[in-house]
Structure 1
Amino acid sequence: MIARFKDFEINPVHNGDAWKICDFVIANETRLKRYFPKTLEQNLNPTLSRFYVESKVKQFENQELFLFTLKHSETRELAGLIILKELNWEIKQGEFAYCIGYTFEGQGLTSEAIQHLSKYAFNELGLETIQIITHKANLQSVKVALNNNFKWRKTLLNEFTPNGEAPLDMELYELRRTSKY
């Protein structure tokens, strides 16, 4: 376990998570299809989810990508997923992506999970800079970045193209390692 807070815990993905991730993705399909299309298409049924989780466990072990689950400690219900991706070990940088289930939004869980995982990324993984890239209209994601002292750096022109849409400009936020971590 990476962290526990407010009856929730953050854990590295493990092979037993496939069914929960499949259920989570299907239940939250509408909110995932724009910004998490690959995660969605890789988890549309239990078999796909099993392959997805197996690959993410291997990537975690190889420090290529880190997928974390946010679950309710008692019920074990999957509340959200947090991914530390785009890792560059030469400059010690990574990027967070995250999604929270409909039934758990508005509780500050994502902000708190990012706080704990930022400490983990700095102290356990040795990263120096963590990024969050979000669309300016995704106010909840912007709030997560600001709640965790990520600083706006710049607008990334045509950074992300949702399926069937024109490219979108995205906002880059960064948190750099400080002595408080």
Structure 2
Amino acid sequence: MAGTASRTCTARGGRDMDELLDHGVPVYRFMQRPGDLVWVNTGCVHWVQASGWCNNIAWNVGPLTARQHRLAVERYEWNKLQRFKSIVPMQHLSWNLARNIRVSDPKLHRSIKTVLLKGLKQMEVFNLLFIKEHEKRHVVHCVDCARRHAPRLAGFICLEEYKLQELQDVYDNFQLHVPPMAPPA
């Protein structure tokens, strides 16, 4: 079953429900009517059809748990391997979490800290922006994509969003928060 959903959903430009079901891949398919709220858990193959207008909010809504963060990072990394731009920029999100919240769950803290460390090592789009004008728009690329277009980066402008020292300070200051013990009643 591994990879079946991905192959089936990308082959021939669409979904083949019968093929997915024949391979034992569970698929959630339903109609969303105006006013309906639909929650599809992480990793579920789904097909939502709206009968009218609706808002599609994906990946950027969910509980702030270690599991949710880890699964979102896994999807983000998978999208990178597929050269697909993720809906949620996990590097940006993780750096903003480190700057703005205190985390008391050790697993969530470790997950965020791992993303930060990878970000320092890889300096992805969240910090080093390789920009090239295309059809009167400025398009942002990661270094790998920019080099695929122009191995010597000809025609690209490189911008640094944050100083490395600032990122190192955020990384160093992101500590596991241990809430104080409540006095016995």
Same fold (TM over 0.5): no
Which has the greater radius of gyration? 2
Shorter-chain TM range is under 0.3
Name the structure with the higher helix share: 2
**TM-score for both structures, normalised by structure 1:** 0.27
Name the structure with the higher strand share: 1
If asked which structure has higher relative contact order (CA below 8 Å, sep 6+), I would say 1
